[in-house]
Amino acid sequence: MIIADRKPLEEILEMIQGSKKILILGCKGCVTVCNVGGVKEVEVLAATLKIARKKEQNDLEIHQKTIERQCDPEYIDQVKDVVGQYDAVLSMACGVGPQFLSEAYPEQKFFPAVNTEFMGGAVTHGIWEERCAGCGTCVIHLFDGMCPIARCSKSLLHGPCGGSAAGKCEIDPDVVCIWDMIVKKKMAQGRLDDLLEIRPFKDWRTARDGGPRKSIREELT
């Protein structure tokens, strides 16, 4: 799923500085699962912003709503009766949300309340880790189920680099050296030969480097 984190409150407060009436719009997709932009988090943000503004004797009216997804026009439609009446709408969805909303309702101002971080999963409750960089050409099978593009700090196709120490990456002792894991698994399973080939240059055209991407499935259009 897409992992996000709430923006610093100071930044959010600045976005809505001149606003008297706002809507906080949650999303029941990824951001609900990663506990950052669902019903509950919308409630917490609303209470927090109210406290902050009351403290300044500058009351703020906040409406709350959480829709199925903010990345599908049919759900975006569900807010058509309410948008327009707010000074600002804070979207708690990933970066797709405020954009789909802005496209659908050009007259309304939408602001992102979260920073969209990465594609990953929960390794334990409350901790998420990146697993996919969305490069557009999956190579996981070549590396025994581990992606060096997303998980090696240098996206090396021939690791580990000289900074790998005791299974950790040189950038941070809390970051696993994925190449250490790949090599150890290959060696343990007697498939070292897989690593002894020089891989061709990666074709980055399918990644963001090739420009904004689009996926078209004719059978569905």
- Report the interface residues with other proteins, using CB under 8 A: 8-10, 13, 40, 43-44, 47-48, 50-52, 54-55, 57, 153-172, 177, 180, 183-184, 187, 192, 195-196, 198-199, 201-202, 204
> For other proteins, which is the closer residue by CB, 13 or 146?
13
Please state the closest distance from residue 33 (CB atom) to other proteins, in A: 18
> Quick check: 55 and 95 in contact, CB under 8 A?
no
Count the Cβ atoms, other than its own, within 10 Å of residue 138: 12
Cβ-proximal residues to 13 (8 Å cutoff; 6+ apart), any chain: 49, 52, 53
> For other proteins, which is the closer residue by CB, 71 or 113?
113
> Quick check: 178 and 129 in contact, CB under 8 A?
no
Cβ-proximal residues to 139 (8 Å cutoff; 6+ apart), any chain: 147, 148, 149, 202
> For other proteins, which is the closer residue by CB, 63 or 154?
154
160 token code pair: 């580990």
> For other proteins, which is the closer residue by CB, 102 or 153?
153
Please state the closest distance from residue 188 (CB atom) to other proteins, in A: 11
Please state the closest distance from residue 186 (CB atom) to other proteins, in A: 9
> For other proteins, which is the closer residue by CB, 21 or 199?
199
Least Cα distance to 105 among 113, 94, 114, 97 occurs for: 97
> For other proteins, which is the closer residue by CB, 77 or 156?
156
> Quick check: 161 and 168 in contact, CB under 8 A?
no
Please state the closest distance from residue 73 (CB atom) to other proteins, in A: 31
Please state the closest distance from residue 195 (CB atom) to other proteins, in A: 7
Please state the closest distance from residue 77 (CB atom) to other proteins, in A: 29
Cβ-proximal residues to 10 (8 Å cutoff; 6+ apart), any chain: none
